[in-house]
Amino acid sequence: MATNTCRLKAAGSPRHKALSLPKCEYTEDSSGNRTENELLHIPRYPNVYWAPGNRWQARIMWKRERQFLGSFETQELAYIKILEFQKTHPKPTLKVAPKRSPGRSQYTGVAYATTEFRRKPWSASIRHNKKRYNLGYFATEEAAARAYDKKCLELRGPEARLNFPLDKP
């Protein structure tokens, strides 16, 4: 069995010379037929998939949505379309909040609940005189902190340390 390197049919065009493809290899038997790996339609490039109808598809995630870039006769042409899309559409810059460790909050008495409460992931609780008071689950971290402040004022009085000291009721 001989090993050959994939080549583009349109490799002579100047548009494709600028694109560098990663090297991919397939094997051929003595008669020049491709082996099982090619027949099973195993993609050699990222974001290239085999679709019913004997076509290769190029799909890519863009702004948190899957974008269909088209159907192609070869994997290489599908991958070229992906490279062209990436050149013309730079990655969007996202404002990322500073990372916190899981279950931590910037407010006292507030924690991030794990998978059980997805709609209301923030829980508030307070300890006072060896008792723990669970104040419930909230949709936002700030709402949980305000519930903590309310219960803290009730239990500890006006000298309590609050998350929002200027908002004393």
Q: How far apart are CA 78 and CA 4, in angstroms?
A: 20
Residue type, 50: W
Q: What is the pTM of this model?
A: 0.40
Q: What domains lie within the chain, and their CATH numbers?
A: 2-88 (no CATH), 110-167 (3.30.730.10)
Tell me the pLDDT of the chain (169 aa) as tens digits. 444 444 444 444 445 444 555 444 455 555 655 554 445 677 888 888 888 777 899 988 877 788 889 899 888 899 999 999 888 887 766 555 555 566 678 888 898 876 665 678 888 999 999 999 999 988 888 999 999 999 999 998 888 889 888 665 5
- The token duo for 129 is 């005189």
